[in-house]
Structure 1
């Protein structure tokens, strides 16, 4: 699997954000997120999927490294934010939230598309 980014208005060009994709699909996995890890690989993404769009918040308690967070509704980016270690907080509307290493989502902007694809 790959996490692919397509800029708004550019359906042809795509950029791979991550190739090591994990899904937080249980209550425990969603609650734990990236807490208690020392680091994550440069090509890693943790994906949180929900049934419907709603206000989704993230915290960085017990996460000792910065991350980029991307909020999506139907694959379209609604917000992107760099969250600081330990103290970072982020909130936006989403049906999917993606956590990436800091700097991985530098070129991602609201209105862009981000999708997990096979292959």
Structure 2
């Protein structure tokens, strides 16, 4: 499955991993060595994230129920608690730098294809 920015047509990730169960959402990317450049983790439901027990920084997209971007966090380093952004229904964790590289902005819509 891919993650595509519907406003720009850019592919944000070639490989989407879903985290929908309690255990998978709880584990997230903890204890992983790296997030491959073309990959992301979609956590649903989820209102905010943390980077405890992680070894690298990540970018985070906050999505509403319609998969419109309602918040962005860039380069969240290990050991931090992410923002709690209004109307967030799910989040996408991407490799650090992905958001800037793809010119992704609040208000744009994404689609899982």
Structure 1 length as normaliser, TM-score? 0.84
- Identify unmatched segments of 5+ residues in structure 2: none
Please list, as runs of the form range in 1=range in 2, the aligned pairs for 1:1-119 lying within 5 A after superposition.
1-7=1-7, 13-50=8-45, 56-73=47-64, 74-82=66-74, 83-92=76-85, 93-106=87-100, 107-117=103-113
Could you tell me which runs of 5 or more consecutive residues in structure 1 were left unpaired when the two chains were aligned.
8-12
Radius of gyration: which is bigger? 1
CA deviation after TM superposition for structure 1 residue 90, in Å = 2.5
Q: Is the helix fraction higher in 1 or 2?
A: 2
- Deviating beyond 4 angstroms after TM superposition, the runs of 4 or more aligned structure 1 residues are none
Larger relative strand fraction: 1
What is the CA–CA distance in structure 2 between the aligned matches of 1:87 and 1:94, rounded to whole Å? Answer: 18
Q: Is the 8 A contact 1:17 1:43 kept in 2?
A: yes
CA RMSD of aligned residues (A): 1.5
Provide TM-score, normalisation by structure 2. Answer: 0.88
